[in-house]
Amino acid sequence: MGDRLDERENWLERLKSDLYVFKIPESEVMLMGELHNLISIHDLSRENIDMILERAKKMENVAIKRSKDFSSKIMACLFFEASTRTRLSFESAMIRLGGRVLGFADVAATSAGGKGETLADTIRTVERYADIIVMRHPLDGSARVAAEFSNIPIINAGSGSEEHPTQALLDLYSIMKMKGNVDGLTISLCGDLKYGRTVHSLGMALACYDVKVKLAAPESLRMKPAIIEEMQRAGIQVQQVDTLEDAIEDVDVVYMTRIQKERFPDTREYDAVKGKFRLTMREVDKMKDDSIILHPLPRVDEISSDVDSTPHARYFDQVYNGVVTRMAILDLILG
């Protein structure tokens, strides 16, 4: 057991180098319309992203009619961390494509959680049961570790506080579908920008587009400098603001996130910022008539419930877009 733990720790140490400058092996990048692993937004170019979004649009009809194309395929969902939308939308996507699903959502009941099995051994086992693995894990670097040990494709469904690439893709698809385009928009990312893996992936994805970005967060929860630098190198105008009032002014998309208590190493740090950056009707009344509000969910108290009935609130429509976007990703990997 000691050797296994050492093996796991060695892999994590190797992969704790700055994720945002990690050089992806060419074999893992989508080439000529084919995708193997999806670990980071950095695995994808603008051309790749546009191809996924276009495929998602085609999946709208497939989702309704259902397909039998993947009748021989099995997807394993390994969720070492709680999930509702990501896990169920991946399962829905696979079923609508005609495939089957196995896996777990209660890590404490598994060998990996209850008996101390290494992540490497879990992956080596599960790859014998399935054609593709979708994994969420609380440790940074975990998805990359899984990809190193797996002989079947790995999709990162959230790794620690670093990335959530499929959420970024469904966010882009939602923006494109609701606003007609991504290029030319002004987009505000608000809330927990330090620990929020969804905004990390979305920020890096926006670096592929001609947009303006506002970053609104308490000082202690501001976006990682490496991601800001990446957006600026791409020519994006990035503005950091301290209030929601500044964040919503003259923007096309307001992307809200919750303050994630479970990510804070010190609860006192969480107590100092909880309840801040709360979007209410007072702020919504000042938004542009055609602006939209998105949120990766779950919501706690950062969006007042009376905002739900306004035409700006599109986060529940955003949830469905996760199904067709993940159908597109599965289709490109397994199809």
Catalytic residue ranges: 85-86, 115, 136, 164
Instruction: Tell me the pairing of strands 237-241 and 212-216.
Output: parallel
**Neighbouring-strand partners of residue 190:** 216, 256
For residues 75 and 135, the answer to whether their CB atoms sit within 8 Å is no
What string of H, E and C letters represents the secondary structure of 99-150?
CEEEEECCHHHCHHHHCCCCHHHHHHHHCCCCCEEEEEECCCCHHHHHHHHC
Instruction: Count other C-beta atoms under 10 Å from residue 121's C-beta.
Output: 15
Give the residue among 167, 165, 80, 161 at the shortest CA–CA distance from 126: 80
For residues 8 and 118, the answer to whether their CB atoms sit within 8 Å is yes
Radius of gyration of the chain (CA): 19
Contacts of 293 (CB under 8 A, 6+ apart): 253, 254, 256, 279, 284, 303, 307, 312, 313, 314, 315
